[in-house]
Structure 1
Amino acid sequence: MRWIYLAIVVVFVAALIIFVFQNTQSVDVSFLALGATLPLAILVLVAYVLGALSGGSLYALLRRSVAGSRRSA
């Protein structure tokens, strides 16, 4: 089973490397009064990390809330 997980990781890393090399063009990004020009691959990486952090935080909050309601009931 470990080899299957390793193969999946290798496929995802290969896809990530291909994505980075194919998306080197710069894009303009603005948020409120801030603006920046950065490569598309970096923008996608930042959006992914922010989404993972917010999703993980929401999951932890919900899990703690459910555990707390079970303890008090």
Structure 2
Amino acid sequence: MRTLKSILLLIIIIAATIFIFQNMETVSLKFIIWQLEIPLSAASILLYVLGAVSGGLIFSMLKKLAIENKSRN
């Protein structure tokens, strides 16, 4: 099982490396008054991380609410 996990991790790292090198063109990101020009691959990774963090926060808040509701009943 450990070997399978290592192989999958290696495949993900190789795919991510290929993605980064194939998407080096610059994109312009704008939000209210901020503007940022970064490579497309960096923008994609940044958005992925922000989505993972916000999803984790929402999940933990919902879990906490469920535990509080369960303890009240």
TM over 0.5: yes
Q: Deviations over 1:37-65 (max 9, x none)?
A: 11111101110111011000001011111
Q: CA RMSD in A?
A: 0.9
The answer to whether structure 1 residue 40 and structure 2 residue 40 are counterparts is yes
Letter in 2 for 1:26: T
Moved more, 29-38 or 48-57: 29-38
Alignment of 1:4-43 (within 5 A): 4-43=4-43
- The alignment partner of 2:24 has SS state of coil
| 1: CA distance, partners of 2:3 / 2:34 | 45
- The alignment partner of 1:29 has SS state of strand
Counterpart in the other structure of 1:69? 69
Q: What TM-score, normalized by structure 2, do the two folds share?
A: 0.92
Letter in 2 for 1:49: V
Q: Deviations over 1:2-28 (max 9, x none)?
A: 111111111111110000011111011
Unaligned runs of 5+ in 2: none
- The alignment partner of 1:38 has SS state of strand
Unaligned runs of 5+ in 1: none
Stretches of 4+ aligned residues off by more than 4 angstroms? none
